[in-house]
A = this chain, B = another copy of it.
Amino acid sequence: MADHTGAELHGDESVQITGLSSAGTGRRGDIGFLDGDGKAPVDISSDISALFVNAANVQHVPGHVAYLVTSVPRYAHSAAASAMYQPLHLVWHGSEAISAEASVHEEAIIAPGAVIGPGAVIGEKTVIGANAIIGPGVQIGRNCSIGPGASVYCALLGDHVKLLAGARVGETGFGVMPGPKGAEDAPHYGRVILQDHVTIGANSCIDRGVFDDTIVGERTKIDNLCQIAHNVVLGRSVLVAAFGGISGSVQVGDGAMLGGRVGIADHVKVGEGVSLAASAGLFRDIEPGETWGGTPAKPIRQWMREVAWLQKNANPKKTG
C-alpha cells in the first residue's frame, strides 16, 4: 500500500489491511486517515490498524497503530480504496436489463425499460417504473413505487416507500479533497436509508453518506427538486417543501416542517417540531418547537418585526 500511494510507512510492517474506514470508526484490519492542521482534537478508534497521516498529524497517531505519511492523506486513502475495491456499478455492463443475479419478487411489477442490477432485491408488490434504474445490491421492500426514470444506488429502502419520477437516490455527495494535481472529488462509502412510508419528490436528490449513512425517517415526505446532502439524518414525519436544501451532516428532529426553498447550513441541528418559513436560510441550531424565518433565519416574530420596522422607517409616511 505504501508503494501504491507513495506514502512512507511507519510502525508494524506486517499489519494486514482488510478494510477502509474513517479514523474514528475503524475496526481491526481497517485503515483510516488524518488530515488538517493537527491542532484540533482527533477522535481515533482504539481498534483501527493503520492510518494515512500528514506531517502535522503524526503526533496524534496512537503507539499501536501503523501509519503512512503523505501530504495528501485523504487522497491516498481513496487511492487505496480504489485498489482494494471496484464499485459494482462501475463494472456493470452488457445488455441484460434485469440481471439474472437480481432477486425480484414474483408479485413485483416491472415496467418496460427498467434496469435492475446484480444483487438487487425487489419486494412483494413493489412497482418499478418505466426506464427506472435499480443499482447493484440495492434492497427495496414491499409495496414501494419507484417512479419512471428514477435511479437508486447504494441504498436500502423499507416498505411503502415512494420515489417520484427522476428522483436520484444514492449518488456521491459534493466534497472536494486536495490531490497531488489539484482538487479531487471526495469518495463516498456510505449508503442511503429510506425508512417505511418515505416519499421523495420528482427530480429530488438524496446523496449517500461519506462513511456513515444518510437516513430519512419513517413517513418523512420530501417534495420535488429538493437536495438532501451526505450524512444528513432526517427524523420521522418531517415535511420538506420544494427546493428544500439540507447541507451535509444536518440533523432534523421528528415532525419538523420546512417551507419552500428553505436552506440549512452544514452540521446544523434542528429540534423536533420546528417550523421554518418559506425562503428561510438557517445557519445555526434551533431548539425544539421554534418557528423561524428570514435569511439569516431568526425567530419569526423578530423577523416580521424587522421587516415591518424597516418598511415603516425607510419609506415616506403614506406607505409606512
Contacts and interface: CB of A to CB of B under 8 A. Distances in A.
Contacts of A190: none
A242 B117 CA distance: 29
- State the main secondary structure of chain A at its contact with B: loop
Given A151-B166, A203-B168, A109 B130 contact: no
Given A165-B151, A314-B309, A111 B131 contact: no
Given A90-B109, A260-B247, A237 B131 contact: no
B112 A135 contact: no
Interface in A145-192: 145, 147-151, 153, 162, 164-166, 168, 171-172, 174, 176, 182-185
Interface of A: 89-97, 109-113, 115, 117, 127, 129-131, 133, 135, 145, 147-151, 153, 162, 164-166, 168, 171-172, 174, 176, 182-185, 197, 199, 201-203, 205, 207, 218-219, 221, 223-225, 227, 229, 237, 239, 241-243, 245, 247, 260-261, 263, 265, 278-279, 281, 283, 295-296, 298, 302, 305-311, 313-315, 319
